[in-house]
Amino acid sequence: MSQTHTYNIFKPMKDVTFEETVSHQCGVTMNDSVEARAIAEVMGAKPGISVTYMPAMIRIDGEGKLIFKMDEISEALGRPMTPHLFEISTSTHYGRMVMVDDETVVLFGDMNEAMEFIRYDD
């Protein structure tokens, strides 16, 4: 039975289970801050996205891809949010993070889909 990425989050290591499958999940972990709470508020209102509040940290997890729109986050935050400030707000992430433009950051769980946005110049 496939489980979500957060299934093991609060277990002692001896009780953690591992699967050798590709999950296509993606997410970010942020230190708890004003910016992180605004990001979590916006993303938590979207379907299929899980927000987990922990002491001093916030996790946002999803399947396939997460689309972070800076205008939505800016509105919740009450001041401008840019992709660069977004990156500073995230402690770590899993999946492929792509800055699509100055207003959108997409986190892909499917690396093949992310490749559409990544160019390798020879």
pLDDT, tens digit, for every residue of 22-52?
678 999 999 999 999 999 999 999 999 999 9
Q: How far is CA 100 from the centre of its chain?
A: 15
Q: pLDDT value at position 37? A: 96
Single-letter amino acid code for the residue at 104 = T
Q: What letter does residue 95 receive in the DSSP assignment?
A: S
Structural contact between residues 36 and 58, judged by C-beta atoms closer than 8 angstroms: yes
> Which of 20-34, 68-82, 97-111 holds the top average pLDDT?
68-82
What is the overall mean pLDDT for the chain? 86
Domains of the chain: 24-117 (3.90.56.10)
Tell me which H or E stretch contains 88. helix 83-89
**Rg for the chain, CA atoms, rounded:** 15
Q: How many whole angstroms separate alpha carbon 75 and alpha carbon 53?
A: 21
Count other C-beta atoms under 10 Å from residue 102's C-beta: 9
Whether 9 has a pLDDT exceeding 80, the answer reads no
pTM of the predicted model as reported, rounded to 2 decimal places: 0.80
Whether 84 has a pLDDT exceeding 50, the answer reads yes
Structural contact between residues 27 and 95, judged by C-beta atoms closer than 8 angstroms: yes
pLDDT bucket at 58, cuts 50 / 70 / 90: very high
Tell me which H or E stretch contains 25. strand 25-31
